[in-house]
């Protein structure tokens, strides 16, 4: 990483060179203002603050532009847009040729085989990721670890993301359960508005957790993506020193450990015995090299798959808690609908009772109106006629009241 750091870090430039560069930059800036060319100002404003963490756990803050990061990590510009804080993208983990692009909630970083380039932010998760990764790398500096550097950096990002989402779920549970219990006992506009707001937060949080879960599931289902994320192995292969090749070379060219002492050695072959021995074994080693490399890739894929599966279980448990909370909300809504339906039935019965009472009063008013008219009628000649009118009206009222259902 020594040569690549020279291209990446502007702080490694000598003071005299940096002063000359600063003078040229100031002069070019004044010239650009005078000429009215906006391209130079936009290129200067594209630099952002990043945190670089190396394998030894040392971190430093750098000002890097997009072009320099693209050249250093061999990334297209569309991958860097995932790390842009001005845009909101769902959680994504992308394996590229020389880097892993990680966009998990607030943790946005680029992981290579030798360093982590983290988007500088004052967010609690970013600060915790920086301090915790440096602490772990410094603690394991003198200890053997089966995980390569990029997997350890990715593991910490997944761990902090899962922990952050789980904390938000617990906070939402502590807030929404008392509101739902209060709403079940007292249905009013204030409680309904609080539940509506909390239900919106639940939907948003469920989508975020679901996206992280789907991304982990997608990675575990694709062996090619997991093999692409093993950056240390690809770096060793590009240098021509894969672990299998190193083992084969150590076994073949280990000196006296391979060639028997009793074997005759010709004086001609003694001067260039290693090249001839390498050509002699070249027909044997390549035939088995493919199977050795494929088996080693299988171990790497299995190693990463176990890592992803562990956090897949954690995020799946968090998602199950959100689904349980949603079911509790749905059950509360069903209970409220039942109570509202019961109240509506009581209102309908009361309305029918009022309608029947109005009809009875209307009957008596009609009889009173008929007999109160100043008309000549023979019914007035019979004294018992008034009794029959009351009996008939009472029977009609009884028929009307029988049609009303009991409460």
Supply angle C-alpha 37, 41, 46, rounded to 5. 140
Q: What is the pTM of this model?
A: 0.66
**Directed axis angle between helix 385-402 and helix 285-371, to 10°?**
180
Choose among 76, 78, 70, 148: nearest CA to 115: 148
60-67 — which CB contacts under 8 Å span 24+ positions? 60/9, 60/11, 61/120, 62/8, 62/9, 62/10, 62/11, 63/10, 64/8, 64/10, 64/117
Supply angle C-alpha 330, 211, 64, rounded to 5. 140
pLDDT digits (tens, 9 = 90+) for 383-397: 777 778 778 877 777
Is the distance from CB of 173 to CB of 325 less than 8 angstroms? yes
Q: What percent of the chain has pLDDT over 70?
A: 70
The string of DSSP letters for 285-351 reads HHHHHHHHHHHHHHHHHHHHHHHHHHHHHHHHHHHHHHHHHHHHHHHHHHHHHHHHHHHHHHHHHHH
Coil/strand/helix, residue 23: helix
State the average pLDDT over residues 226-251: 68
The least confident of 118-127, 248-257, 355-364 is 248-257
pLDDT of residue 116: 93
Coil/strand/helix, residue 276: helix
C-alpha distance from residue 301 to each of 99, 203, 223, 285, 290 (Å)? 17, 34, 7, 24, 16
Phi and psi at 295, nearest 5°, equal -65, -35
The least confident of 87-96, 237-246, 286-295, 370-379 is 286-295
Under the banding of pLDDT at 50, 70 and 90, the label for residue 406 is low
pLDDT digits (tens, 9 = 90+) for 300-331: 688 889 999 999 999 999 999 999 999 999 99
pLDDT of residue 141: 67
**Alpha helices of 124-148 — where are they, by DSSP H?**
124-139
State the average pLDDT over residues 166-195: 91
Tokens of 264: 């005759």
- How buried is 372 (Cβ within 10 angstroms: 0-12 exposed, 13-18 middle, 19+ buried)? exposed
CA distance 106 to 95: 19
Is the distance from CB of 199 to CB of 273 less than 8 angstroms? no
pLDDT of residue 29: 44
């Amino acid at each position: 990483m020594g040569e690549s750091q020279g291209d990446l870090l502007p702080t490694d430039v000598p003071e005299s060179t940096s002063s000359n560069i600063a003078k040229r930059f100031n002069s070019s800036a004044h010239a650009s203002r005078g000429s009215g060319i906006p391209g130079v100002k936009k290129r200067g404003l594209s630099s952002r603050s990043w945190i670089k963490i190396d394998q030894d756990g040392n971190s430093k803050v750098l000002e890097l532009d997009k072009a320099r990061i693209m050249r250093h990590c061999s990334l297209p510009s569309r991958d860097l847009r995932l790390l842009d804080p001005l845009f909101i993208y769902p959680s994504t983990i992308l394996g590229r040729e020389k880097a892993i692009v990680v966009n998990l909630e607030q943790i946005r970083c680029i992981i290579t085989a030798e360093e982590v380039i983290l988007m500088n932010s004052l967010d609690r998760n970013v600060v915790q990721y920086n301090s915790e990764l440096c602490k772990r790398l410094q603690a394991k500096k003198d200890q053997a670890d089966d995980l390569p550097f990029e997997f350890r950096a990715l593991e910490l990002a997944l761990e902090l993301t899962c922990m952050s989402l789980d904390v938000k779920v617990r906070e939402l549970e502590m807030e929404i359960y008392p509101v739902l219990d209060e709403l079940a006992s007292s249905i009013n506009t204030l409680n309904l508005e609080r539940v509506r707001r909390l239900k919106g937060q639940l939907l948003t949080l469920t989508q975020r957790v679901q996206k992280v879960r789907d991304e982990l599931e997608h990675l575990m289902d694709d062996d090619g993506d997991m093999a692409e994320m093993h950056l240390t192995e690809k770096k060793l292969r590009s240098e021509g020193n894969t672990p299998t090749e190193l083992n084969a070379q150590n076994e073949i060219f280990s000196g006296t450990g391979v060639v028997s002492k009793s074997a005759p050695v010709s004086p001609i072959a003694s001067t260039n015995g290693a090249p001839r021995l390498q050509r002699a074994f070249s027909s044997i080693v390549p035939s088995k090299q493919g199977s050795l490399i494929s088996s080693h890739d299988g171990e790497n894929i299995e190693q990463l798959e176990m890592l992803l599966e562990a956090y897949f279980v954690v995020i799946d448990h968090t998602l199950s808690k959100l689904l349980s909370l949603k079911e509790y909300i749905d059950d509360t809504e069903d209970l409220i609908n039942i109570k509202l339906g019961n109240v509506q039935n009581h209102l309908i019965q009361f309305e029918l009772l009022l309608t029947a009472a109005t009809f009875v009063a209307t009957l008596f008013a009609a009889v009173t109106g008929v007999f109160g008219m100043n008309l000549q009628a023979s019914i007035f000649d019979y004294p018992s006629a008034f009794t029959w009118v009351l009996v008939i009206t009472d029977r009609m009222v009884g028929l009307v009241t029988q049609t009303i259902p009991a409460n």
